Amino acid sequence: MRWNPCRVQVMAAVALLIACAAATAAARPGLTESRIELARPIDLVVRTRDGGSLQGTLVAWSDESIWLSPTAAVGGSAPVEAERILHWSELDGSQAFEIRRRLINPRDGLAWAELGVCMLRSGEVNLAERAFGVAAVQTDERLAAACEEALRLVRSGGDPGTSLEALREARREQALDGRAPVDGAAASAPVPWPVLTQAQLAMETERLKRDAQEKLARVLLTIDPLETDHFLLYTDLPADEARRWSRRLDRMYAKLLEILAMPRDARLFNGKCVIFVFADRGRFVEFESAAFGFAARRVAGVCHQRGPDVFVSFYRMEDETRFISVLVHETVHAFMYRYRTPVNLPTWANEGLADYVAAHVNPKSREQEDHWLQARRFVESGGDVCEIMRQDYSDGTWFTKDSYPVSHMLVHYMLRDRPEAFRKWIDDVKSGAHGGDWRASLEDCFGVDPQRLADGFRRAMLTEQSWRR
């Protein structure tokens, strides 16, 4: 019933998410290690470990530090007045992780290992292990061993950075004689969505408003949007109801950040995500045809991915629980498209995750239980879970009648048992690890191939006597 034309793979923009604050960290003289200038400086508000915050423009970084320049005032935070150097360890740990991982080439294993060491030096062992996990699956055994060594060193009070010295030296030598880097950090790696400044985000949002009005005008409508932190909602529903839905959107967004262990202030959309909700199904179908050239007669809702922009469109079905499910489901597609890179998860995971989040945000829904029952019947009767994992939008094999329930329960199973591995797997797939082979990433993150995943899932389903969250 739903369709997700998530195939447009045009480059564009994501936003970092950097939060707010004003800091007191002192500049450290004498840090002359290699400074990397940013082609596109990033306006941000840095949170520091001592609870302070500092607004500035990130202009350069190195293995040790970041450089903040004075920024044009965009908000209420205290701006820096002269260029400031902040050591990574002076930043709030999770923000440091988020900033740095967006500065590195996501396919550069050594860069991930360096990020891990940086986290260890700040006492952030969990974040370090997350980075080492990515490093280890992307490259060779030597790097995995070096990551292990870094963890061992930090436990015994040593400097974890020494574990990477040999690899860094090898990288320098290769650079000198022009050979490829150690791990072949690929030219074909997917390009992350660019990070937008506050000013750019505002500009994109204004552009989207004009675009949305222009689309509505094609069916002779003019609607003022309800604007939330992350969404522009255009609807012809009564005002009270519209406000109710708009509040739910930001809650759902927060839930997704939580599932993906992202900072609460993460900004995913290119400006905002545009949502159209029509009171009438006929109007929805007419609008889809006029605005997007899409024949929506078979679907309940749709998420359009156009370059950097995402548009979700659907109608107010009578069953409110079902309506919320579609709202959340389609918006998850929009969110995942904008998460890190435009690379799509495999179809089953894309759809399973959307149903999973929809069910979690909507506890009154019976969908989880219904899906559990249907998936249980599917495995009991010898259904082939791997076959559903092979279905794909692009070849028309997605979907058959059990595809949604089984994919939903499979994602539920993975997230319940191994949430960290699941997140890492998503990160891997989105960063194009293993040449974009999600199965190889699965092996690395979960230690299983699709068949063994399916076997484990089948056993788990068969031992459950009833639905449990």
- The residues that touch Zn ion, with contacts defined as CB under 5 A, are 2, 4, 351, 354
Q: Are residues 266 and 19 in contact, defined by beta-carbon separation less than 8 angstroms?
A: no
- Residue 265 corresponds to which tokens in the numbers above? 């202030």
Put the strands of the sheet holding 226-227 in their side by side order: 2-3, 301-306, 309-315, 273-278, 231-235, 226-227
Q: Dihedral of CA 118/119/125/129: which sign?
A: negative
From CA 273, how far away is CA 324, in angstroms rounded? 17
CB of 116 to Zn ion, least distance (A): 34
How crowded is residue 156: how many other Cβ atoms within 10 Å of its Cβ? 7
- E-strand ranges in 52-126 read 53-61, 65-69, 84-87
Please report how close the Cβ of residue 6 comes to Zn ion at its closest, in angstroms. 8
**What is the rounded distance in angstroms from the CA atom of residue 171 to the CA atom of residue 105?**
15
Closest distance of CB 207 from Zn ion, Å: 26
Of the two residues 2 and 458, which places its CB atom closer to Zn ion in the complex?
2
Residue 418 class from Cβ within 10 Å (0-12 exposed, 13-18 middle, 19+ buried)?
A: middle
Please, which residue, 4 or 163, has the CB nearer to Zn ion?
A: 4
| Closest CB to Zn ion among residues 354, 445 | 354
* DSSP helix/strand/coil, 207: helix
Closest separation between CB of residue 347 and Zn ion, Å?
9
Give the nearest distance from C-beta 302 to Zn ion in angstroms: 9
What burial letters (b/e) apply to 213-231, b meaning 16+ CB within 10 Å? eebbeeeeeeeebbebebb
CB of 265 to Zn ion, least distance (A): 27
Which lies closer to Zn ion via its Cβ, residue 13 or residue 312? 312
Least CB distance to Zn ion at residue 412 (A): 16
Given the complex with Zn ion, which of 57 and 391 has the nearer CB atom? 391
Task: Rank residues 2 and 412 by Cβ distance to Zn ion and give the closer one.
Answer: 2
Tell me which DSSP letter residue 337 carries: H
Length of the chain (residues) = 469
Q: Which helix (H) or strand (E) holds 326?
A: helix 320-337
In the complex with Zn ion, the residue whose CB is nearer, 234 or 399, is: 399
CA 327 to chain centre: 19
Provide, rounded to whole angstroms, the least separation between the CB of residue 397 and Zn ion: 15
Shortest distance, CB of residue 159 to Zn ion, whole angstroms? 48
Distance between CA atoms of 431 and 424, rounded to whole angstroms? 10
Separation in Å, CA 237 to CA 208, 242, 281: 21, 6, 12
Backbone angles phi, psi at 45, to 5 degrees: -115, 115
Distance CA 155, CA 170 (A): 26
Q: Which residues have CB under 8 Å from 132's CB, separation 6+?
A: 112, 113, 116, 147, 150, 151
Q: Provide the pairing of β-strand 65-69 with 309-315.
A: unpaired
- Residue pair 306/331 in contact by the 8 Å Cβ criterion: no
Phi then psi for residue 330, to 5 deg, are -65, -35
| Closest distance of CB 329 from Zn ion, Å | 6
Give whichever of 112 and 399 is closer to Zn ion, judged by the CB atom: 399
Identity (one letter) of the amino acid at 408?
H
Name which of 246 and 407 has its Cβ closer to Zn ion: 407
For Zn ion, give the closer residue by CB, 67 or 335: 335
Of residues 5 and 436, the one with the C-beta less far from Zn ion: 5
Question: Positive or negative, the Cα torsion across 355, 356, 361, 364?
Answer: positive
Tell me the closest approach of the beta carbon of residue 351 to Zn ion, in angstroms. Answer: 5
Residue nearer to Zn ion on the CB measure, 86 or 260: 260
Q: How far is the CB of 188 from Zn ion (least distance, A)?
A: 27
Looking up tokens 């450089």, which residue turns up?
67
